Structure 1
């Protein structure tokens, strides 16, 4: 059964990071064998001479999440299906060397599997923006534009990690001028996994100069299991009446277009592959879905999207307070990357749901602002809730 959206649905934060949500919940078999949530740590290698560690969050109810201090990467998410059988449901690489060598455009991959991205997630047109009368230039790394923070974004940082109850606190400092961005930015991200199989990601950031910031996580989901095949039969619902069309380089035109009557209408649960091959110029530009949806909610933590895999019964509910959601259907997975299971990833073997502000917002005054000033705190939360249905 799919989730029904309400435009005024707001979910109050609780001790675990979010109150109960309207989804099917934990598999009964996993609940019967419940154990207390736990966190463990192991050495994973070195990046640039710095030790990298892998942490395993265990909900105690059949779900385990492995997170790297390099890039804050979610490497695996193991979740049970309707019969209690567990599988990894996200895409990733088996080794640290793979992430360093293949996870960004500069390294020849450009996929950002599981990574925290910033300072500015998504694209900035021509790597240029103006703030308070000053023009800033950031690295160009994608079709003449800047993508996900530039050549050395947060996905390439080794984050400082502290264990907290039920999860981790990751922190990084980006100095003034890093990748061309003004201000020293202190960013903190918390990952917590509760006994209801809800993975909460909390983001905060402060700056000492006016700057722009847009943080997200770039996990690719395949609810049937990693490397099980394409996701075209999996169903997706997005609480959005509008989306932001793009030009030929995937920069928003500034229009907030209605999804009505288009391939971008996911207001009702729809198979991801149902219209992906429609003769729509927007789909042709990105070779599939790679667009920002304008969420209907008004800023409080609310259901933004719901995905289901009919075969396994797994369900994913995404909650956020952000104004936008980038849905990417894995169009550029080209069969050259080998995943954690040793199998090759082909086109649309996974999909990303990136909670965010709109792409290129610094160059669109009509878009929600991404400006952060001294004395302010950037603060947002995203929840990925895993469950099962009949």
Structure 2
């Protein structure tokens, strides 16, 4: 492996805020303070993520490609919620709803560099009271670390000076070197999926039964199976799969649990997390620089619209509490290729 295969500070991507490279074992990563994002992650010479080819395109990104989303990931219905007898009106950036924290959410803001090392990097952002309509001042941090065993650990944390909803996620678009995510195979450790109506969860969890996501079919075949049952449309998945019981998903740090395994033609990725579920997004709405289904997002996060649904685990964080979630990605070569 030669350094010329990756960006340096003198290349166009090196001009992005907080650009830094990490390397350990067979993994190498490029990160930026813009959205506290991964620009690319490599296993040996193989890119694993969807990526723009230039700094200008990264700065114009509207899809949160490989970025940290917040204050609250996913949707808040009607761009509003009530807390302490007060109604909060939020930034609307998805029709009538709030997506990933509003129009100026963490994914399109420049974070500050908190630490840099040979195999780790950290970014932080201070969100003022009233930012996108949310109460309280929030200090959020993300820490990337490359570990032994070809692992990347992503730690998302935050504190606040007033009770407020917080739910951070990492919005990586995984490719494992494949141009179309429908050719990947995915196994999710989930037995249920949240029912949706008008893009919001109804509060009901539906058993997967014969529609479970396993290696028996590739993602494209799963989309077709679900489409025949009228559970998805032609855009594919944008669905939340709970991984744990609600009582296990409170604020105290839970033990990491296996959540998903993704198989490419040559590579395997295993995802562990202490988040309560995975939002599976197969990127059927991508356009412009990217084709639909160019990557798959396995967004480890809390329940969508949880601040408005008391039956879901609460996303509220109060002063003196520390929100902390982790995602552990493990990469390996596949020993035996799966049939088509």
TM-score (norm 2): 0.88
The structure-2 alpha-carbon separation of the partners of 1:132 and 1:69, relative to structure 1 and needing over 3 Å to count, comes to same
Deviations 1:228-248 (A, max 9, x none): 421222110111111112112
Aligned twin of 1:271: 218
Deviations 1:114-162 (A, max 9, x none): 1111001111001011112211111111132110110101012211111
Contact 2:88 2:133 in 1 (8 A): yes
**Alpha-carbon distance in structure 1 between the residues aligned to 2:262 and 2:27:** 17
Structure 1: gaps (5+ residues): 1-29, 31-39, 81-85, 105-110, 338-344
Q: Give the alignment of 1:1-390 within 5 angstroms.
A: 42=9, 52-59=17-24, 61-80=25-44, 86-101=45-60, 103-104=61-62, 111-161=63-113, 162-164=115-117, 166-223=119-176, 225=177, 228-248=178-198, 250-262=199-211, 265-266=212-213, 270-277=217-224, 278-284=227-233, 287-296=235-244, 298=248, 299-309=254-264, 311-312=265-266, 314-334=267-287, 336-337=288-289, 345-390=290-335
- Aligned-pair CA distance for 1:78: 1.1
**Alpha-carbon distance in structure 1 between the residues aligned to 2:228 and 2:78:** 28
Contact 1:41 1:53 in 2 (8 A): no
- Aligned-pair CA distance for 1:296: 3.5
Structure 2: gaps (5+ residues): 2-6, 249-253, 336-340
Deviations 1:227-275 (A, max 9, x none): x421222110111111112112x1111111111123xx11555411113
| 1:136 counterpart SS class | strand
The structure-2 alpha-carbon separation of the partners of 1:144 and 1:331, relative to structure 1 and needing over 3 Å to count, comes to same
- Matched positions, count: 319
| 2:87 counterpart SS class | strand
Aligned twin of 2:4: none
- Aligned-pair CA distance for 1:96: 2.6
Higher normalized helix content (fraction of residues): 2
Contact 1:45 1:52 in 2 (8 A): no
- Aligned-pair CA distance for 1:307: 0.6
| 2:314 counterpart SS class | coil
**Alpha-carbon distance in structure 2 between the residues aligned to 1:118 and 1:203:** 10
Deviations 1:160-214 (A, max 9, x none): 1111463012111000000100000011111001132111011111111110001
Runs of 4+ in 1 over 4 A off after TM superposition: 43-46
**Alpha-carbon distance in structure 1 between the residues aligned to 2:43 and 2:216:** 22
Aligned twin of 2:251: none
**Alpha-carbon distance in structure 1 between the residues aligned to 2:19 and 2:256:** 29
TM-score (norm 1): 0.77
Contact 1:361 1:369 in 2 (8 A): yes
Contact 2:235 2:283 in 1 (8 A): no
| 1:155 counterpart SS class | helix
**Alpha-carbon distance in structure 2 between the residues aligned to 1:128 and 1:209:** 17
Deviations 1:34-70 (A, max 9, x none): xxxxxx9737779xxx9713111111x2221111111
| 1:281 counterpart SS class | coil
**Alpha-carbon distance in structure 1 between the residues aligned to 2:43 and 2:235:** 30
Give the superposed CA RMSD: 2.1
**Alpha-carbon distance in structure 2 between the residues aligned to 1:91 and 1:176:** 34
**Alpha-carbon distance in structure 1 between the residues aligned to 2:229 and 2:89:** 33
- Aligned-pair CA distance for 1:333: 1.9
Contact 1:76 1:90 in 2 (8 A): yes
**Alpha-carbon distance in structure 2 between the residues aligned to 1:320 and 1:269:** 24
**Alpha-carbon distance in structure 2 between the residues aligned to 1:213 and 1:160:** 19
Contact 1:65 1:77 in 2 (8 A): yes
**Alpha-carbon distance in structure 2 between the residues aligned to 1:281 and 1:180:** 36
Contact 2:213 2:222 in 1 (8 A): no
Deviations 1:78-130 (A, max 9, x none): 114xxxxx2111012122321222x22xxxxxx21111110011110010111
Contact 1:117 1:217 in 2 (8 A): yes
**Alpha-carbon distance in structure 2 between the residues aligned to 1:44 and 1:148:** 31
**Alpha-carbon distance in structure 2 between the residues aligned to 1:268 and 1:97:** 38
